[in-house]
Structure formats: structure tokens, C-alpha cells
Structure 1
Amino acid sequence: MNLWLLLALIDCRQQGAQCCPDLCSCSASGAEVVCSQSSLTHFPVEDLPSYTTQLSIRSTNLSIIATSHLSAVPLLNNLHLYHNKLQSLPSDLLRGVPRLNTLDLTGNQLVHLPPNVFSHAPLRSLVLKNNLIEKADADWLPDNSSLTWLDLSGNRLTDIPSALLHKLPHLVNLDLSNNNLQELQVDTLDRLHHLESLNLAGNNLSTLKPTTFANTPQLTQLFLQENRLQELPATLLQGLQHLNLLLLNQNQLQQLPSGLLGERDSPVMVILTRNPWVCDKKMEYLWKWLSIHPQNVFFLEEVICAGPEALKRRQVASLTENELGLVKSSKIQN
């Protein structure tokens, strides 16, 4: 504990103050405060230690938060406001917390967020998961934002504006899963050169452009499951030398194009289940890849044929050349 916090804590106790709000619990130092009683309906500004650095208000009936509330804790660096009843935020909410780097608003009822709402603090982690947000706005954040983690999963987004992501050159983790995204603009990810994890699962993507990931060379994890992808460009993963996890399950893929999974020193781990794989000549690339890298396929036995009729429910990895209709080169020469 630094000297300022120690003096403030001593002063609080000397005055006989409670040093902790009703319906909340505080750490011995008073720097960490947790409020998790459903009977809490108002921000606990009274008796909230001014030297609080971590504040968690969760699973309460809190419905309003004002700039003045946070100004009472100017040293705050972590704020968790998840599973409450918040429906809106003031545009200058963070003006009084210049040290805040983590803000978690999971599980509220936020629909529309005003411009500059996250522009007054050096945020590195912003979680807006499981709200009712229909539109993401580039004006939420300043240019060259310090964010490294952005979670917008579980909302109602139909698109993600390139202008917003272009403000996040330091982003490492981006979660857009479980929205209603129809497509990604060709330049959406262009400035995310440090991105390592991208989650697009649970959307309505039916296609991806060949250069979608051309400017994200640091990607290690790519989640594309539970979309409507029918085919993938052969060069989609080109240049992703660090990719080690790829989820493609629960799409509408019938085969994979030759070369998609690339040649890496350490082959990517994949999940391919619950796709309508058509086991004919066009399955040759995936069939060979599975035979060479079975240890890199989760649930290999569940990668099964949807057609043709004679091969339905057969494991792709168990098929023979003859069953796939492949003809050996020796026979071609004859």
C-alpha cells in the first residue's frame, strides 16, 4: 500500500467512519470494494473509500450511474459493473477516473451508447458482453486507443464499422461472437497488426473475402464456428504462420479448398464437426490432411460425410481412394 492510501485509511478510521458502504464488502486496505446484493438500487457513493482502486458492483438492481459517482473514486483502475440494470451511460462517465484501465459492463441492458463515452480514460480492457447494443460507433473511443481487449459478444450487431477498429492499433483480443454480423468489410481488420485472438462465432457470415486476415499476421486463434459459411477462399489463412487453433464447426461447408490449412512447422489444431461434408473427389485435400494430421483434429471421429447417399454417416478419415472416386496416377497412364 502506498503512503497516500495508508494516510487516507488512517484518517477514515480515526474519524470513526464505516470506511465501507452498506450492502458492500471491502478489503482490509479498503482499496477493493465488492457490492453484490440484489437489494442495492443506487450507486454506493456514501462511505465509498476515496482511495478505492478496484470496484465491483454485480448482480444488483443498479439502474443509473453518473459521472459524479465515479469522480468520488479518482484512483480507480478496475471497474466491474456486470449483471445489473443499466440502460444508458453518460458521455463523460469516465472523466473523473483518469487511471481506469479495465471496464466490464457485461450483462446489462445497454442499447445505445453516446459519443466519447469511453474517451476519457486510458482503457486497456473494455467488455460490453451480453447487452442489447445494435450499433457500434467509432465515436465511442479516441484515435489510437490503448485498448488491447474488446468484447462485444452477445449483442445485436449486424455489422462492425471499420472506423471503430481502425482506432485500435494495439488490440490483441477481439470478441464479436453471438451477434448478427452478415459480413466483414474488406478493410475491417486492416490495422489490427497485433491481433492474436479473433472470435466471430455465432454470427450469420456466409462468405469471407480472400484478404480478410491479410493484415493480422499475429493471429493464433480464429473462431468461425456456428456461422453459415458455405465455402472458404484457398488463400484465406495465407500468412498466418502463428495460427494454432481454428474452429470451423457448425457451418455449411461441403469441402475445403486445396492448401487452405497451409504448411506450418506446427500444424493448426482444428474442429470441423457438424458440416455437410460431401465425400467425392473434391474432398481429396481435406481427406489427405486428416490422414497426415489426425492428432490435430478435435473429435476426428465426428467429421462425417453428409453425402453421397452411399457414404452418409461415414467418418471422412476412414474412407478409401476408391470410395472418394480418386484414380491413381498409374491408372491414368494406362
Structure 2
Amino acid sequence: MKSWCFLAFLWLAYFCYGTLSCPALCKCYSRRAEVVCNEIPMTDYPSEALPNDTTLLTIQFTNVSSISEQDLNATPVLTGLHLYSNHLQNLSSHLLRGVPLLSTLDLTGNKLSELPVDVFSHAPLINLVLKNNLIKKADSNWLPDNSSLVWLDLSGNQLTEMPTALLQKLPNLDNLDLSNNRLHKVSANSLDSLAKLERLNLQNNKLETLHEFMFHSTRNLTYLFLSRNKLNKLPQNLFEELRHLRLLSLDYNQLSHIPAGLLDPLKFLDEEGLDLSDNPWLCDGKVEYLWRWLKKNKEKVFLPNTIICAKPEALVGRPVISLTENELNLQS
């Protein structure tokens, strides 16, 4: 009788909570089929101890240095895998073949550099985060054609060129983060395939200028981050298709002037949605367009009094918006 009760208890526990196994030092939350391994002295991926019904798995701040297709075969219904800040150096080819339901993969803060062909194929990924690794080139063969990817984060790597060939496979992408890389040029057609793109982060790169047609296919762009580059000039019609833009950051660049009409298409900027601070503005006659635009749209500018003159000497430190027509030698 006792043995029958014990077996019934085990059956009930399995039915309600799933498999009873759990990796050592990890926490398993059976009701939501989640496993969390956080800040433990783990060196190997715990595939043998993972419940096979796991749908969410987090392994972070450990010494795990590799993961293979065989490792992931242990969790065939996995939908979210977060491998934040481990010591991963290599990923196996066809990594995701055993997790056909995986939609989110986060590999932030590892030591990944070169990744094999088809590494992210075989799963319907929606979110892919490769932030803060050592990647120098994003290969177009990582993902299949017409990928379902919506979110791609390649920030904090060592990219020197836009991954144009890879982006051409991502027609559903609405968020692209390439900040904190070493990009020095963006070709005219780099974003042509990203008609659904809403958020683009290119801040903290080495861009000196942008092609005038760069944003002509990204009409849904809403948030654009270009701060902390080396931008010293911008084409007059650069933003002409961005009529839904709500936020634009151009702070910490090398802009001394902007062309007349540049900001006119941006009718729907949020309050304080434009940041032009910390540029070396030359306050001569060519700054008239910026001066007039600031006066008319002050509420759309973040800290307008930080847009200050770097030259001429007589106006150094003066906010552009505070200048008078006489100081700019303008005729009424």
C-alpha cells in the first residue's frame, strides 16, 4: 500500500511539475518549465541534468566555454535560451537543429569571434543577441533566407563594415543595434531590405558621413541613434523619408553646420526628441537655418542651451538659440 502511494506521489509530482531532475546548484521552476543557473562554478553545459520539458533556460556568470547541437538536444521544446556572460568561445555548426521551437537566443558577454555557417539556422529565431563579443564580421550564412528575426543586437563587437548581406535576409527586422563597433562607412543600400525597421542604433562608431539615400527604404524608422560618431557633414535630404521619426540623437559628433532643410521632414519628433549637443558649431551665417529651426521647435530639442558655439571666438560658449540677427550678420 505504501509503495503504491509513493508511486502515485511520484506520478502526481511529474504530472504537475514535470521531471524531478535539476542541475546541481541551479534552480528549476517546474510550473513554468524554467531553469536558472546563476553565478555558480559550472564549466560544462548541464545537458544531462536538464528537465526535458524545459522551455526557458538561463545560464549566466559561469565558466561554460562551449555549447553544441548535442547539448541542446536535451531540451527539445526550448523557446528561450539566455547564455549571458559566460566564457563561450565556440559554437557548433547547426547549433539549433535540436530546438525547433527556439525563438530567443541571448549570447551577450561571451568571447565569440568566428561563428560557423548555419549556426543559427534550423530554429524560428525572433530575437538574437550577440552583444559584447569579439565578432569582426557578421556572415550572411548564419541565418536562412527570409529569416523570421525581428530583433538583432550586434553591439559591442569589432565590426568595421555594415553586415549588408546578412541584413538582406531579414525582411522582418524592426530593431537593429550596431552600436559600439568600429563602423567607418555605411553604403547607400545597406538598409534597403529593412522596410519594417523601427529602431536603429549606430552610436559610438567611427562614421564621418552618411549616404543621402541611406534611409530611403526605412520609412517606418521611429528611433535613430547616431551619437558619438565622427559625423562632420550630413546630406540635405538625408531624413526626407523619415516622416515617422520620433527620436534622433546626433550629439557628440563633429558637426559645425547642417544643411538648410535637413530637419524639416521631422514633423513628429517627440518632446526633447532631438539631441544636437556637444558638436563644434560654427556660428557664422551658415548657422542661420539651425538657429531659426531651434527657435521655432525649441520644445522638440533636448537641452537646447547645450547647443553652443565653438567659433568664432567672440561667440564661444554661447547657445546658438540665444544669438541675435546682428550677431549672425543677418539682414532682417
Q: TM-score, normalised by structure 1?
A: 0.93
Q: For residue 90 of structure 1, what is the aligned residue in structure 2? A: 92
SS at the partner of 1:290? helix
Q: For residue 293 of structure 1, what is the aligned residue in structure 2? A: 297
Q: Which blocks of at least 5 consecutive residues in structure 1 are unaligned?
A: 1-6, 329-334
Deviation at 1:53, TM superposition (A): 0.3
- Separation in 1 of the partners of 2:110 and 2:258? 40
Q: For residue 107 of structure 2, what is the aligned residue in structure 1? A: 105
Contact 1:9 1:30 in 2 (8 A): no
Aligned match of 1:316 in 307, 313, 320?
320
Deviation at 1:218, TM superposition (A): 0.1
Contact 2:20 2:51 in 1 (8 A): no
Letter in 1 for 2:242: L
Deviation at 1:28, TM superposition (A): 3.6
- Separation in 1 of the partners of 2:314 and 2:12? 77
Alignment of 1:82-161 (within 5 A): 82-161=84-163
Deviations 1:187-235 (A, max 9, x none): 1100100000000000000010100000000000000000000010010
Contact 2:17 2:31 in 1 (8 A): no
Deviation at 1:8, TM superposition (A): 9.8
Q: For residue 303 of structure 1, what is the aligned residue in structure 2? A: 307
- Separation in 2 of the partners of 1:134 and 1:266? 36
Aligned match of 2:14 in 10, 17, 32?
10
Deviation at 1:327, TM superposition (A): 1.4
Deviations 1:141-186 (A, max 9, x none): 1000000000000000000232110000000000000000010111
Alignment of 1:233-244 (within 5 A): 233-244=235-246
Letter in 1 for 2:163: P
Q: For residue 3 of structure 2, what is the aligned residue in structure 1? A: none
Q: How high is the sequence identity, in percent, across the aligned residues?
A: 54
Q: For residue 273 of structure 1, what is the aligned residue in structure 2? A: 277
Deviations 1:125-144 (A, max 9, x none): 00000000011110111000
Deviation at 1:266, TM superposition (A): 2.6
- Separation in 2 of the partners of 1:173 and 1:262? 25
Deviations 1:228-287 (A, max 9, x none): 000100100011110010000000000111111124543452011110000011001111
Q: Which moved more, 1:42-51 or 1:229-238?
A: 42-51
Letter in 1 for 2:213: T
Q: For residue 202 of structure 2, what is the aligned residue in structure 1? A: 200
Q: Which blocks of at least 5 consecutive residues in structure 2 are unaligned?
A: 1-10
Q: For residue 37 of structure 1, what is the aligned residue in structure 2? A: 39
SS at the partner of 1:266? coil
- Separation in 1 of the partners of 2:196 and 2:32? 37
Contact 2:239 2:265 in 1 (8 A): no
SS at the partner of 1:174? strand
Q: CA RMSD in A?
A: 1.8
Give the 4+ runs in structure 1 shifted more than 2 A.
11-14, 263-268
Aligned residues: 321
- Separation in 2 of the partners of 1:271 and 1:109? 34
- Separation in 2 of the partners of 1:125 and 1:165? 14
Contact 2:95 2:119 in 1 (8 A): yes
Q: For residue 332 of structure 1, what is the aligned residue in structure 2? A: none
- Separation in 2 of the partners of 1:121 and 1:9? 31
SS at the partner of 1:324? coil
- Distance change (3 Å), C-alpha of 1:9 and 1:125: farther
Q: TM-score, normalised by structure 2?
A: 0.93
- Separation in 2 of the partners of 1:201 and 1:173? 14
